[in-house]
Chains A and B, each alone.
Chain A
Amino acid sequence: GAGVSQTPSNKVTEKGKYVELRCDPISGHTALYWYRQSLGQGPEFLIYFQGTGAADDSGLPNDRFFAVRPEGSVSTLKIQRTERGDSAVYLCASSLFAENTEAFFGQGTRLTVV
């Protein structure tokens, strides 16, 4: 596709359940980022991939959160034992290279934990 694609666009889950959020970056983009945006706030960094490896996961809030990018393209953000505080819009972005290149954002996945 032409842009960054995130699926699903909306996800409602019960507290304690496991969820997976998917990001398809722009083809050829080596850098991929996950951010989380709570209502009324700017996005907050979660994790950054350069190729297949997580180069910086310092933003992951706790060990319930994990992300993979096994083939250096599609990435999956995984949240175990979801809590109501995990409710937010999860944004994915990709860029051609890591440094000083424009980031392209997906539409986000709105996660609601009830």
Chain B
Amino acid sequence: KNEVEQSPQNLTAQEGEFITINCSYSVGISALHWLQQHPGGGIVSLFMLSSGKKKHGRLIATINIQEKHSSLHITASHPRDSAVYICAVSPLATNKLIFGTGTLLAVQP
């Protein structure tokens, strides 16, 4: 079993829809990261959080440390949001990231 699990693996949405991507992890962490990767492109950090909720534009990330679960929400989705969204965790006492396999999001106009 992977230490970081994401769902769904693939998601197709219509423009304007509210989108939720989920991440569950099984290790103790110091922080959780949400990252975005476009085809052929590098990885961009969206959020780093260790508790509560963060918002940036149309993106919202929440984390529940007790339940070892995080969600990434996209409001009013747009085709330019189409990308792979990756959840990664920083385990306690290490400095590396452990990544989920990503969620491929396609937003259709």
Interface residues of A (CB under 8 A from B): 4, 31, 33, 35, 40-45, 48, 50, 55-56, 59, 91, 93, 98-108
Contact = CB atoms under 8 A, between A and B. Distances in A.
Interface of B: 4, 30-31, 33, 35, 41-45, 48, 50, 86, 88, 90, 94-102
A100 B90 contact: yes
Contacts of B99: 35, 42-44
B95 A42 contact: no
Contacts, number: 63
Nearest to A49: B95
Nearest to B31: A100
A42 B86 contact: yes
Contact of A103 (B4, B33, B50, B100): B33
Contacts of A44: 99
B88 A42 contact: yes
Given A42-B101, A99-B30, A105-B43, A56 B95 contact: yes
